[in-house]
Structure 1
């Protein structure tokens, strides 16, 4: 018992410590604005000083990197993402100084680290196993995409954590909601549940996600629908006679009222600086601040749906599962024959195994009807499927950081499901010998899947170590870099 309790504390602590070291060590490297840091870091600093994003001259990067961080003007800049992620980046800059690259990335490194214990709690809740939870969180802790997106000041890692947090809150809600529905077994419609604080918390997290990037709306809509679906399933299992109309018509509006208004309030609160000042972009478009804000957002929407400009690292969503075109966010050449890269390549062994795990979970869900198996699939669906609707829009593979925790969760849960203790399948009136043979087969099958699980996790750990330079910008010989280029699109 003492050993088990120690392991329950040690496992999450160790995977979180690994995540922290991999994300914070050498965080100031490189001492230059990486990829879209050129927008978010400078916008964050002008936001901190003005309350809205100011305008920077076109050649501001070199001066900013050299420590001249006051080059912005008070003229409002047209920016296409809401402010919350930049406010968080600005907190790190205020703490360590705007001239320190570690300050630029402090918020994303902290949030990238927090994703690991958050995923641990979620996996522990589903699996009931410390080992499975540690496997899921450990895969995320050492994953190249997770590390890279924590070491650059981009918005997508922040969005990913808020979505993951919302899923955790909805899972915590379900236990109590299912008990209350089960207590109404056999009733006509069952209860309408208003006392659901975890749904409120999920709404706040999803509001924060939309306040980082507008794509958080996909998660809000998808998880809101899933909440109604789960309520319907629980009512059906409880024997509620009108389970589907009760879930949609009675509980549905209550769930909407718990989830959406608080999400809207959190989102609008992130715009406080824009509303409280007069210099933000389009702030004077109308005497009514809300009308001016709406006009601004209409322009942002038009920008996003029409974004089809060519980019050498553009990757439509259908290319994300096979990892056809990762993004090289920074490439440095320290000296002849050496190269340093920070890219958005996830651990290929874990990622491709995770894609197979999705199929295994779908099959397991169809066969066993275990709703726990559906949650990773829902997380992947709300963070990936909407992007398939925009095949011509310029998108990038690093958007999959929002998918990544659920891919790690899917792999860990699929391995647990495949290595589970199996029921004996016997003919009518089996002989003692047939029973013994069936038991031996079940034991061999379970051992085989356990061995395969250990092998997959060991291979993922080795791949994580091998690909670590590509997520941290560690210089390596050109020959070794080329050994990492497993697919043509990775170059």
Structure 2
């Protein structure tokens, strides 16, 4: 109704007034929402609308919030944040000198400089450190926990480990998929794999600039979605285009489906060492394919 009325008034030269009224209504609605939710989060009774039907409907919506009240003193948390903010902003010039036109100065915080210096000069050796060239090869995954506590059967040595290891059937396909994507992008001038290549490179290549820094396998996680996109694009090429004949599509579907089932089976096989399930030592060793995974 409001939209129809707005179009009618706009025809008569009053469109700006309608837009202004709609904007005021949205502002009032936003203020009303803030006025209702803030007291509710603090455990106080929120102000309800005057209309009985709206009051009952809003009270029903807020009933779950009152039942699941946030633990702790929210007001105290707000006061603590207000006391902490000056400490975090200490040393920051709020505005540039008068000669610069009173614009905000784009100077880094002292705390940020210390953090940058720490992370660029972190070279303490670690047992599970690795380098970017080995991440896609699963050269050195990170073990978060290991235990030999049982039970796992009489006469068996037990092993339970939480290992940050990617599914080999998927991760070992990343490099071939990236090569195929690069070929399609450069030789065939297909722009679709460019997003996967650029995203994967942005997540891994910058780490080559710090060869002496202590790095770990999970630093490659930001590039993981783009690597999966590269594999997906390559599987699409194997599947074939819509214009391909039926036999070509059938063979491609069998290959793609078989590979997906292989990845799922590999994930299930390695699931016990992802979740610290208690295994016998022989079962655990059967999942440690490379000595660098120990």
- TM-score bin, normalised by smaller chain: 0.5 to 0.7
Distance 1:334 1:369, change over 3 A: same
Alignment of 1:262-411 (within 5 A): 273=81, 276-278=84-86, 286=91, 288=93, 294-335=109-150, 337-411=157-231
Alignment of 1:40-439 (within 5 A): 273=81, 276-278=84-86, 286=91, 288=93, 294-335=109-150, 337-421=157-241
Distance 1:343 1:95, change over 3 A: farther
Give aligned pairs, total.
Answer: 204
More helix by share: 1
1:345·1:471 contact (CA, 8 Å) conserved in 2?
A: yes
1:316·1:392 contact (CA, 8 Å) conserved in 2?
A: no
Q: 2-side partners of 1:96 and 1:349: how far apart?
A: 45
Superimposed CA distance per residue, residues 359-417 of structure 1 (whole angstroms, 9 cap, x where no aligned partner): 11111222432212211112111111111111111000011221222222211221012
2:150·2:278 contact (CA, 8 Å) conserved in 1?
A: no
Superimposed CA distance per residue, residues 242-292 of structure 1 (whole angstroms, 9 cap, x where no aligned partner): xxxxxxxxxxxxxxxxxxxxxxxxxxxxxx959843555xx65x3747899
Distance 1:335 1:277, change over 3 A: same
Q: CA RMSD in A?
A: 3.1
1:489 has 2:292 as partner: yes
Q: What is the match of residue 256 of structure 2? A: 453
Q: 1-side partners of 2:71 and 2:182: how far apart?
A: 46
- 3-state SS, counterpart of residue 277 of structure 2: coil
Superimposed CA distance per residue, residues 188-220 of structure 1 (whole angstroms, 9 cap, x where no aligned partner): xxxxxxxxxxxxxxxxxxxxxxxxxxxxxxxxx
Q: 1-side partners of 2:82 and 2:186: how far apart?
A: 49
Q: What is the match of residue 48 of structure 2? A: none
- 3-state SS, counterpart of residue 342 of structure 1: strand
Q: 1-side partners of 2:122 and 2:83: how far apart?
A: 27
Equivalent in 270, 276, 280 of residue 477 of structure 1: 280
- 3-state SS, counterpart of residue 418 of structure 1: helix
CA shift at 1:334, angstroms?
A: 2.3
Q: 2-side partners of 1:379 and 1:287: how far apart?
A: 34
Q: 2-side partners of 1:274 and 1:406: how far apart?
A: 40
Q: Note the residue ranges of structure 2 that are not aligned, 5 or more in a row.
A: 1-68, 73-79, 95-104, 152-156
Bigger Cα displacement from structure 2, 341-350 vs 331-340? 331-340
Distance 1:382 1:338, change over 3 A: same
Distance 1:96 1:358, change over 3 A: farther
- 3-state SS, counterpart of residue 116 of structure 2: helix
Q: 2-side partners of 1:387 and 1:328: how far apart?
A: 21
Q: 2-side partners of 1:382 and 1:293: how far apart?
A: 23
| Higher radius of gyration, 1 or 2 | 2
Equivalent in 268, 275, 280 of residue 465 of structure 1: 268
Q: What is the match of residue 434 of structure 1? A: none
- 3-state SS, counterpart of residue 146 of structure 2: strand
Q: What is the match of residue 33 of structure 2? A: none
